Amino acid sequence: MSSFEGMFAPPPAADDEAAMSEINTTPLVDVMLVLLIVFMITIPVITHTIPVELPKVRNEATKTAPENVNISVNKDGQIYWGQSMVPDTAALLERLKSAAVLKPQPEVHVRADQTTRYEYVGRVILTAQRAGIQKIGFITEPGPSGPVPR
């Protein structure tokens, strides 16, 4: 038999050519291991946060100094400077301008009725900003449980 006879041999039997019906799971396992490693590295970074001390909720009574300006707005939009009524925002602006030049500048505390429209309170805040007031605060009632203990 010559060396060329093997090249022209008859084809193998049908059993040898049967299609391979098994799934090659090696690439799947490789991808899953890579994902597992990635998740193991990133999960601790996501769950741990920077330790910070968050502020405690508390409601402290306002210390009213005689130099503070107390402005009240009722539900009809009428503005009061202390106990006296201010006719309009132009008069309020003039009074706030004279208070803004004092040293130290007084704080403006705004009290508004619960049913007062936001527009009325917004006008008072805008007028205080136009006058050059640096500190504006709101006076509110404590909640039903009162101040939270420290």
Tell me the per-residue pLDDT of 108-125, one tens digit each, with 9 for 90 and over. Answer: 999 888 888 889 999 999
Residue 53 one-letter amino acid: E
Helix (H, G, I), strand (E, B) or coil at 32: helix
CA distance 1 to 56: 97
Q: Which residues touch 62 (CB under 8 Å, ≥6 apart)?
A: 109, 137, 139
In tens, the pLDDT along 62-96 reads 565 667 889 999 988 899 998 889 999 999 999 99
In tens, the pLDDT along 136-148 reads 988 877 666 655 5
pTM over 0.85? The answer is no
Which structure tokens are listed for 129?
């900003």
State residue 36's pLDDT score.
92
C-alpha R_g of the chain: 40
CA angle (92 as vertex; 91, 93 as ends), nearest 5: 90
Q: Which residues touch 8 (CB under 8 Å, ≥6 apart)?
A: none
